[in-house]
Amino acid sequence: MYIRFSSVVVLMVMMMRESSGQKQPRHIVFIVADDLGWNDVGFHNPDMKTPNIDKLARQGVILNISYVQSVCTPSRHSFMTGVYPFKAGLQHVITAEQPVCSPLSMQFFPEKLQKLGYSTHMIGKWHLGFCNLECTPTRRGFDSFLGYYNGKEDYYNKTTLNGIDFNDGIKAIPADNRYSAYVYAERAKHIISNHNETKPLFLYLPFQSVHEPIEVPKRFEDMYKHIVNDDRRKFSGMVSAMDEAIGNVTQALTDNGLIEDTLFIFTSDNGGWTDHGGNNYPLRGGKITIFEGGTRAAAFVSGSGIKKKGSTYEGIIHAVDWHPTILSAAGSSDDNIDESIDGLDQWQAISHGTESARNEFVYNLDESLLSINGHAAIRVGDFKLISGYPGPYQGWYKPAQESKGKGSRDVSVQQNDYVTIGYKDLDRLNSTWSGDGLYNLKDDPTEHNDLSKELPDVVIKLKAKLDEYRKAYVKPNSPKNDDKSNPKYHGGHWMPGWC
């Protein structure tokens, strides 16, 4: 059962806020970076130029053990519904031509924020299905939407595959050939400047950045002239372009007197894609893989309500937790948090630095891949079990950014066990995995030491836990492509309404 809020609940929330001296719930800005790696932000890697992101992170709480799914759609479904993707058949990404979306029976948290009196706006990437009008953002909790429905597109002309994917609400709009980070920051500034001050604001900013294609204005690329590798240099510039956009948003909140009452949440949707400039060093693996490099997010919370500012939080958080946690931060009472979802309310824990509400989670459950043993992993306490094939990126990859001249290193060689090149050959290099992998992540966060042979009892225990979760397993809902989606039938645009 998915609980819907009534006008009585809204009134109660407002009365509680007024009695505590706060006239209305805090504003919330939820920023999601696409394919941003653990090693792609300044607060993890000083080589990255991200002053705005770093300032927010260091003034707030850096989340050191915050998890997401290993690819886009499953993470976004987790954020919105608070339900594990394997319970919704959304273990895979939704492609442009597939007649499917995140289940309409599962209520998105922005719908609940609307019932709490929030103005809700979305700018950026959706990737939760769009074939039916009911699947689109403005039917699932957002007052406005500017962005695109699919998984990737050109940063300038807004095309993907054979059509334009650029929308204002459900209306297709022509591309203006401006870099998307500029467009999205300008829309955010417009929303903030025109916000009705009698209502709290929720702004969802799932940037296109830094997903491939690797495209960036030259002035950002020139910030990294010392990087020889083209992909890494341009990718780094893409990160800095997103950082500037975030700085423009925070400045707009400051200029309009909203900054002091605003809570910022920042996370990547999965690990960096090592084929396309992203980097997760020293974590193992990358996007698509259920090692830590594919699933452990660069993340933080900052601003209104954060008590232990300037700290690092070591409690476990998972993508499904953002649904109830954001509702709690918005002032929703415990009685209005849906206990049937998988997400746990972590607001008290992360805002006050207390013990996490979570001790275990499932990385993934997928028995449809071309693998004998499936594709699954679970963490309970400090132990992580990988059962079956973990995915194609199984090494430790240093960023390909060595400088020319004195002190430079030849990136064509392997240094110890840290592979520095050959990203596009990883499927071939890492196709021999078999059996189980057990890791103590407290002692070995980079997953070097497989303990499965030493601790068979722990393997048995964690496999039993996975079997319990399998009782709720729904096989991936990946229908065949439908030609009715073709942009040639919709004026050259990717549009909803064909399923």
Active site residues: 72, 127
Contact 241, 224 (CB under 8 A): no
The backbone torsions φ and ψ at residue 64, rounded to the nearest 5 degrees and listed phi first, read -85, -20
Torsion angle, CA of 226/231/234/238, rounded to 10 degrees? -130
For the record, the structure tokens of 29 come out as: 């800005």
For the record, the structure tokens of 453 come out as: 């042979």
For the record, the structure tokens of 166 come out as: 């650029």
Strand 167-168 with 144-148, pairing = antiparallel
- Residue that has been written with the tokens 């109660």 in this structure: 12
Contact 282, 431 (CB under 8 A): no
Please list, in sequence order, all residues whose beta carbon lies within 8 angstroms of the beta carbon of residue 145, skipping any fewer than 6 positions away: 121, 122, 123, 126, 136, 137, 138, 167, 168, 169
Closest CA to 235 of 380, 34, 70: 34
Measured in whole angstroms, the distance separating CA 373 from the mean position of its chain's CA atoms is: 27
Q: How far apart are CA 57 and CA 52, in angstroms?
A: 9
DSSP per-residue string spanning 193-254: HT--TTS-EEEEEE--TTSSS----HHHHGGGTT--SHHHHHHHHHHHHHHHHHHHHHHHHH
Please list, in sequence order, all residues whose beta carbon lies within 8 angstroms of the beta carbon of residue 433, skipping any fewer than 6 positions away: 389, 390, 394
Positive/negative CA dihedral, 155, 160, 163, 169: negative
Q: How far apart are CA 275 and CA 393, in angstroms?
A: 10
For the record, the structure tokens of 196 come out as: 């009705």
